[in-house]
A and B are shown apart, each in its own frame.
Chain A
Amino acid sequence: MSKLTGAQILMEMLKEEGVDTIFGYPGGAVIDVYDELEKTDINHYLVRHEQGAVHAADGYARASGKVGVCLVTSGPGATNTVTGIASAYMDSIPLVVFTGQVPTKLIGNDAFQEVDIVGITRPCTKHNYLVSDVKNLARKVKEAFHIARSGRPGPVLVDLPKDVVNATTNFSPPGEISLRSYNPTYEPNIKQLKKVVSLIRTAKKPVVFSGGGVVLSKAHEELTEFARKGQIPVTSTLMGLGAFPGTDPLWLGMLGMHGTYRANMAVTDCDLLISVGVRFDDRVTGKTDEFASQAKIVQIDIDPTSIQKNVQVSVPVVGDCKISLRQLNELLETEECSDRAEDRQEWLAQIDEWKRTTPLAYKQEDIIKPQYVIDKLYELTKGDAIITTEVGQNQMWAAQYYHFREPGRFITSGGLGVMGFGLPAAIGAQVGAPGNLVVDVAGDGSIQMNIQEMATAVQYNLPVKVVILNNCFLGMVRQWQELFYNKRYASTQFHHTPDFVKLAEAYGAKGLRAKTPDEVEKVLSEGLAHPGAVIMDFVVEQEECVYPMVPAGAPIKNMLLV
């Protein structure tokens, strides 16, 4: 055993947890931690705003499958992380956020840069800690990583008072930890799974409804096998995109407020809804009373609180999505079954009919249509890019027109809907999946919320590509005003916007602009091929709307169509 300072112990523990990347921003309360960090091999990315650090860690976690780690100072450094933490909490992304804190003696005294960040983040973290004694530090850090990545993942915050990181103690790495009050259930109850199989046997019009849980538990192969075996069409939440190939004939497209016609109709009409890793968010269910109201609903989720929270479920299954689907596949294997493809013919034909009569559509005329930009982006990248998004119309068009084939390729702030998420998340994704093409699909509003992170991208040679669908509006809010507020565009129009090409150049990145439809492909090709960071500014139709649209609170079959 050797005597180490708290800061040194933290470094030891980070190494033990396999951390090689941190996104952060220094300050007085963490200066000692930074001093130790500098002596390690851990790569620290100095962002330009702490919110950016958390979104970057979020993007990193999703692209790499590892826990994202942040380090910030006390007070304002800590409060700046709150939006990012809340977003990661809603989307179940594993993060550990270390915040500096004033010395324990000063806590509660309104000391300089003191804030009760543990109190502030209690409702938006999976768990959090104030480490008040250096003797507990190693164990708390270990617990934090364990809690962040296990069960339903989520962000964990660890608050580090300055005197604790400077105190010394004998360090020996804590062994395996077991928390008596925290034991996620991974193994599903086989009896429940057998009920699911018998429902599949008799269902005429089944639908699989998959969500972020499938992505998080890396259950995409099992999901695809399950759907194909049962010949069951698949829809998904925004967070679930990519878990089932967007090019598969059984794919219905996304469900909900901006879901496809066929997905919303199929769920409304189905007699069995097998939901996996979803939490029935209001953006997906619309009016819950009429959501899949003729169907038996199966819900598989690792988090019992997600089950039966918003809708009544016939067969609840608490367990890991991957293990549950694997076991379901095994059960289906041994099932004596008639030819499923034949059984499903009528149902699949009905779905094809919906797809044929009411596909996702837009008309490219004189002015660039935002959908066209995404279409071209998909074509030019062959669907292989990692796409992050901002929030608003840009996010929905990316979800609708980029056909994701793999999980971890669509990185968006789904639950909280944070404008300003996309650029820092792209930076994190680029760090977490180097060698991949990473594109942030942005609106001209959102991109200005964390535009400062362009400097981070340039400093670390991270070749992220920003595609701005520039409509001079807060487009999604404008769309609501157009449709439900008689076109009263209250505070949604930008009368001044910076020149994004010049702005890119000022940051030391490349700037490109397309003003006409025929320039779109050229700009995209040039921008995507550029070896460094790029902003591509697409001057698009100002008053384009995202369709279909289900008005908030309406049944999902009540879609406004183009």
Chain B
Amino acid sequence: MTEKRHLLSILVDNEPGVLSRIVGLFSGRGYNIESLCVAETMDPAISRITMTTRGNPMIIEQIKKQLNKLVNVLKVFDLTGQEYVQREMVLIKVTAVQQHRAEILRITDIFRGQVVDVGQDHFTIKITGDNEKISAILSLLRPFGIREIARTGSIALFREKK
């Protein structure tokens, strides 16, 4: 059985300890968390966890069932294979010496990014997009010397029927 990345959107009670139950489930059973993003929803009693995980179909099925079994989990959506919009934000601190500055700004522009901090020899750039877009800009900036990055992890919602 082949492994595949899945994007899960999980609605949970917004209570202390709930995230720990979820993370504990993954570590205890040897499942993988590739990224994780948690915040309150419109209803302050409920939080949404957006998570990317990886596994063969049997494992993914177990993950969804095990999540559903937790008393604090209200609903688990598997977005993979569905119509959805997904975004991630990344902050990239890239070395920007004089002769590269223009080129870096051009790339940032093409990706509709923003320079959020400037120094003598660096830029910090903010980019939002899906996974591919972020990988693409990272590989373009790598030759200039990426010093640090911070990524939010994916967030996503189903697309509404038009």
Contact = CB atoms under 8 A, between A and B. Distances in A.
A and B part of one assembly: yes
Interface of A: 118-119, 122-123, 126-127, 130, 147, 179-182, 303-305, 307-309, 312
B67 to A, nearest CB: 10
A305 B68 CA distance: 9
Contacts of B75: 181
Given A123-B28, A127-B71, A305 B62 contact: yes
A126 B25 CA distance: 12
A71 B158 CA distance: 47
24 contacts: A119-B17, A119-B20, A122-B17, A122-B21, A122-B24, A123-B24, A123-B28, A126-B71, A127-B71, A130-B17, A179-B71, A181-B13, A181-B75, A182-B71, A303-B69, A304-B65, A304-B69, A305-B62, A305-B65, A305-B66, A305-B69, A307-B65, A308-B62, A309-B62
Interface in B46-105: 58, 61-62, 65-66, 68-69, 71-75
Nearest to A305: B65
A147 B68 contact: no
A308 B17 contact: no
Nearest to A132: B16
Contacts of A126: 71
Interface in B100-148: none
B23 to A, nearest CB: 10
Contacts of A182: 71
Given A118-B17, A119-B20, A123-B24, A181 B74 contact: yes
A145 to B, nearest CB: 14
Contacts of B21: 122
Nearest to B13: A181
Given A304-B65, A308-B61, A309-B62, A181 B71 contact: yes
Contacts of A130: 17
B20 A181 contact: no
Contacts of B62: 305, 308-309
Contacts of B71: 126-127, 147, 179, 181-182
A97 B13 CA distance: 23
B44 to A, nearest CB: 15
Contacts of B65: 304-305, 307
Given A122-B20, A303-B69, 20 more contacts: A118-B17, A119-B17, A122-B21, A123-B24, A123-B25, A123-B28, A126-B71, A127-B71, A130-B17, A181-B13, A181-B71, A181-B72, A181-B74, A181-B75, A182-B71, A304-B65, A304-B69, A305-B62, A308-B61, A308-B62
Nearest to A143: B71
A508 B62 CA distance: 52
A283 to B, nearest CB: 19
A173 to B, nearest CB: 22
B71 to A, nearest CB: 4
A305 B62 CA distance: 6
A304 B61 CA distance: 10
Nearest to B67: A305
Contacts of A127: 71
Contacts of A305: 62, 65-66, 69
A181 B24 contact: no
Contacts of B17: 118-119, 122, 130
Contact of B73 (A119, A122, A181): A181
Contacts of A147: 71
Contact of B58 (A122, A180, A308): A308
B92 to A, nearest CB: 36
A18 to B, nearest CB: 22
B24 A304 contact: no
A130 B25 CA distance: 19
Nearest to B28: A123
A-B residue pairs, 7 tightest by C-beta: A305-B65, A181-B74, A127-B71, A304-B65, A123-B28, A182-B71, A305-B66
A456 B138 CA distance: 68
A126 B71 CA distance: 8
A312 B61 CA distance: 12
Contacts of B68: 304
Contacts of B20: 119, 122
Nearest to B62: A309
Contacts of B69: 303-305
A127 B65 CA distance: 16
Nearest to B63: A305
Nearest to A147: B71
Contacts of B25: 123
B19 to A, nearest CB: 11
A126 B70 CA distance: 8
B56 to A, nearest CB: 12
A180 B65 CA distance: 17
Nearest to A129: B17
Contacts of B58: 308, 312
A152 to B, nearest CB: 9
A119 B75 CA distance: 23
Contacts of B74: 180-181
A294 B70 CA distance: 35
Contacts of A181: 13, 71-75
A130 B65 CA distance: 25
Contacts of B66: 305
Tell me which of A122, A130, A307 has the highest count of chain B C-beta atoms within 10 A of its own C-beta. A122
